[in-house]
Structure 1
Amino acid sequence: MSEPRTTRRIGRRRTEVLDAACEVVSDRGAEATRFTDVTAVTGVGASTLQYWFGSREDMLIAVFRHAADRDLDAVTAYLATEPDPWRQLVHLAAFLTGNTDDGDDTGWRLWVEWWRWALRDDEVRGQVLDDYTRWRRLIADSIASGQGAGAFANDTPPHELAHQILAFFDGLALPVALGDPTVTPSHAHALLVDALARLVGHRQDTPPASGHR
């Protein structure tokens, strides 16, 4: 087997392990996750995990980084196919509250763990803040597009509205992640969509952007 093919195979396997490790950390929490826990669900030996990631903390940081990039990449890819800025914001609201087809809240559970770590680790805090900047940029871009198309009446600078919208997302997504029975994913999503419409001044009678499927 050629070296490039072997490298690709190892890379795919490492990605599969990170995907599985995300579930482990989501279920057990970062502090309770060990190499042996990941080995139990992946079949990859602890020695291999140590070779790939280094220490247990390095593995956990790789898991969090993988989860954050995976979510951001997935949303960015979707937004690139959706020309309508209002639908972009609605999709962001659905994704960030777990109101998606699979109903998976793994991402938010990991975010909570990631935040907890960031409170006491300067390097991790920098990564978390960078991720927030990327989320705000996505939101601000959608707002700017909506303002430019005349779909959003509020002309507040997009980056300021993005800060407020992300605060709405965090405020409702956290009780969803905690399993608050009074805030289901669908209810949180409906509340967010209503808040978004009011905040950006969504004009219901504005036709979708050209090219909308």
Structure 2
Amino acid sequence: MPLWVTNDDRAALIDRAPWVRVDDLPWRAIASDRAMLVRGGVRHLQDWACTPAAPRPCPLNGSSCGGLHVAWSLPALCLPPKPHTGVDALVAASAEGDYVPMKIPAQHNPRASTRLWTPAADRDRWRNIIGEDEALPDAEPPMQATLTFTEEDLDSTCRYGEDTRVFDDRRPRRDHADASGLHTFPEVPQRIFRIPRQPQRLNVSPEQRA
């Protein structure tokens, strides 16, 4: 599985191929022994019962809804926070199968989807929560953008070397820090309840029983 690396949060390959985003570093930093950390594209599964005592607010109403929320978060926004992954470590882990690419369709709009890399354990838990009987539909291919002509005059002035400090990039930002792939269930599926392996016994002496 190829791993596409970019330093642009507006790159067209984001959510269209297995991708990661890194910092825009000078060549000396890239050539050094300094680890290049992944800033986007690697996420971890976060699931929580939406109760008043939950550590996170309800993403739907800001309070609590009593359901189960499942989302994919950046390492620093997990509870508790997780360490960032280095590019070299991700390449090695993906070759071993410890990190896997995933494509997560939106719950109510299968045409929208999120691509990410995640630990294999998070993928397995995601499948356990979704369940085979609740498999999500395959996401439809994104619509191709069309070119439009605005009939504006072409600016032929050469501004090479000018320090305008203006960054005019009309491409939409595709990499966001917000949790992605949010799915909400009205109640916690019973299949994800953890059953103790050992029978629970209460050791009570005859005196305590009396």
TM-score (norm 1): 0.28
TM-score (norm 2): 0.28
- Higher strand fraction: Structure 1 or Structure 2? 2
- Structure label with greater radius of gyration: 2
Question: Which structure's relative contact order is higher, taking Cα pairs within 8 Å and 6+ residues apart?
Answer: 2
